[in-house]
Chains A and B, each alone.
Chain A
Amino acid sequence: MDGIDFHIQPSAPEPIYRQIVEQVRRLVAGGQLAPGDVLPSVREVAATHAINPMTVSKAYSLLETEGVLERLRGKGMAVAARPAAAAEDARWALIAPALQAVARQARELELAPGEVLARLMRTMEETSE
């Protein structure tokens, strides 16, 4: 993974450090980042996106506290080894806000739950092709 792989929107309401935290959590939970994989250095991420390095440090430190990352001596940050059950829970926790948003909007639009579910399944099939 390189610094450029982070998708960062500086002007979004969500603080930049949170954007980084969320992306790393998602990549780790989804398996795109495996235990032991080394993350790009603070300096590289900051330089690539022209953002404050302290923001990147803050995100990495938070992920370290959560146990998602671990600090390797002299090599920077790497994905920590995690039990499989925790990873499953973490994946559901990550998608929960999106599911809640869909549920709320569907209710506002008075769409039938069964129909929403069917369309979601169809959408997932289409995007996986």
Chain B
Amino acid sequence: MKPVVVEHAIASADSKAPLVAAGLTRRYGQREVLSNVTLRLEPGQVLGLLGRNGAGKTTLIQCLLGLCAPDEGESWLWGTPSLALTDGIKQRLGYVAQTPEAFGWMTISEMLDFVAPFYPQWDHDYVRRVRERGGISVGKPLAKLSPGERQQAAIIRALAPRPDLLVLDEPAAALDPVARRALLRDIAEHAASWGCTVLYSTHIVSDLDRIASHVAILHHGKLLLHEELDALKERHLRLHVPAAIAAGLEPSLSGELSRHRLDDGALRLLLLCAPEAGLPAALDVPEVRRETLTLDDLFVEVAG
């Protein structure tokens, strides 16, 4: 697998961009868990941060939100350094940690009634709707609920204040399929209703297909790919090249991401090509079978 060239927008403090990171690097002892990550989110984007377990997703999110300090690099929320966030910035931010632990002694109703007055834009209507939807025990303290219920409670608490930036660390991990679908719908609606920007980390590809506008793949602490989801699907092709044609092929093609030689001399190629540019002439023949890729396929090809 060749490294994928990630095209970076210029990364620096910018009061319009909800989130910018420049060269974030974080080490635990000798091990580099984040390597020079540069990232920029524009208002209204829904970025799915995809990575295998241990890829560095949580560390990246914690650095972005100022919950841990990077060894190198810097990041900003609306131009304010992550490590010096003001109360005004925090008011605009919704965050759901992987294992929410706050307010464990309260029931969900007590917790929501407690935090609501802190937020002028609190969405009482949304809270009423999700309560009616059920799925969370109302009588028990949060600490006694199942991990899925606790996660849902934390998501409601993060969405209800109508944040401008919503950061979710593996929010669907503990949810059943019904709750997961409901969560995706809520996020999509929030993003649409008031242009909320979303960063959503997951290792489950199917969570991203529905709502992400952009996808980034984090692998061993490096950002391998960051692109619009539609463009990603349209630009990647897998080709099956029969032996006769494979024999006469150049050793490296432009846009080639990977090449597997099969036992019979045939090739399996993964190519990145713009739809308008078309295929190299040698491959643009009926004998070469082309296949478009799902996000799942791509993730496996890039991070497998």
Interface residues, chain A, with chain B CB atoms under 8 Å away: 10-18, 42-43, 46-47, 49-55, 58, 104, 107
In the bound complex, do residue B188 and residue A15 qualify as a contact, i.e. CB atoms below 8 Å apart? no
In the bound complex, do residue B292 and residue A13 qualify as a contact, i.e. CB atoms below 8 Å apart? yes
Chain B positions within 8 Å of A10 at CB level: 206, 209-210
Q: If A46-B189, A51-B210, A52-B213 touch, does A11 touch B294 (CB 8 Å cutoff)?
A: yes
**A52 is contacted by which of B210, B233, B286, B292 (Cβ under 8 Å)?**
B210
B293 interfacial by beta-carbon distance below 8 Å: yes
In the bound complex, do residue B230 and residue A15 qualify as a contact, i.e. CB atoms below 8 Å apart? yes
In the bound complex, do residue B181 and residue A50 qualify as a contact, i.e. CB atoms below 8 Å apart? yes
Sort chain B's interface into a size bin: 20 to 34
**A51 is contacted by which of B182, B188, B206, B292 (Cβ under 8 Å)?**
B188
In the bound complex, do residue A52 and residue B211 qualify as a contact, i.e. CB atoms below 8 Å apart? yes
Question: Shortest beta-carbon distance, B212 to chain A, in Å?
Answer: 7
In the bound complex, do residue A11 and residue B211 qualify as a contact, i.e. CB atoms below 8 Å apart? no
Question: Shortest beta-carbon distance, B16 to chain A, in Å?
Answer: 18
Chain B positions within 8 Å of A12 at CB level: 294
B44 interfacial by beta-carbon distance below 8 Å: yes
Chain A positions within 8 Å of B230 at CB level: 15-18, 55, 58
Q: Which 5 A-B pairs have the closest CB atoms?
A: A13-B292, A53-B192, A10-B209, A15-B230, A50-B185
Residue of B nearest to A53 (CB): B192
B21 interfacial by beta-carbon distance below 8 Å: no
Within 10-34 of B, Cβ neighbours of A (below 8 Å) are at: none
B108 interfacial by beta-carbon distance below 8 Å: no
Question: Shortest beta-carbon distance, A103 to chain B, in Å?
Answer: 9
B295 interfacial by beta-carbon distance below 8 Å: yes
Number of A-B contacts (CB under 8 A): 68
Residue of A nearest to B229 (CB): A15
A46 to B184, CA, bound (A): 10
In the bound complex, do residue B233 and residue A15 qualify as a contact, i.e. CB atoms below 8 Å apart? yes
In the bound complex, do residue A50 and residue B211 qualify as a contact, i.e. CB atoms below 8 Å apart? yes
B156 interfacial by beta-carbon distance below 8 Å: no
Question: Shortest beta-carbon distance, B276 to chain A, in Å?
Answer: 15
In the bound complex, do residue B188 and residue A53 qualify as a contact, i.e. CB atoms below 8 Å apart? yes
B71 interfacial by beta-carbon distance below 8 Å: no
Chain B positions within 8 Å of A15 at CB level: 229-230, 233-234
In the bound complex, do residue A50 and residue B188 qualify as a contact, i.e. CB atoms below 8 Å apart? yes
In the bound complex, do residue B44 and residue A54 qualify as a contact, i.e. CB atoms below 8 Å apart? yes
A-contact bits for B40-65, CB 8 A (1 contact / 0 none): 00001010000000000000000000
In the bound complex, do residue A13 and residue B189 qualify as a contact, i.e. CB atoms below 8 Å apart? no
A59 to B188, CA, bound (A): 16
Q: If A49-B210, A50-B181, A52-B46 touch, does A11 touch B192 (CB 8 Å cutoff)?
A: no
In the bound complex, do residue B210 and residue A50 qualify as a contact, i.e. CB atoms below 8 Å apart? yes
A50 to B177, CA, bound (A): 12
Question: Shortest beta-carbon distance, B152 to chain A, in Å?
Answer: 16
**B191 is contacted by which of A16, A52, A58 (Cβ under 8 Å)?**
A52
Residue of A nearest to B205 (CB): A11
**B213 is contacted by which of A18, A46, A54 (Cβ under 8 Å)?**
A54
B123 interfacial by beta-carbon distance below 8 Å: no
Chain A positions within 8 Å of B291 at CB level: 13
A47 to B46, CA, bound (A): 16
A18 to B233, CA, bound (A): 11
- Chosen A-B contacts, 20 in total, with CB atoms closer than 8 Å, are A11-B295, A11-B296, A13-B233, A13-B297, A16-B210, A42-B192, A43-B189, A46-B192, A47-B185, A50-B185, A50-B210, A50-B211, A51-B210, A52-B210, A52-B211, A53-B191, A54-B44, A54-B192, A54-B213, A55-B230
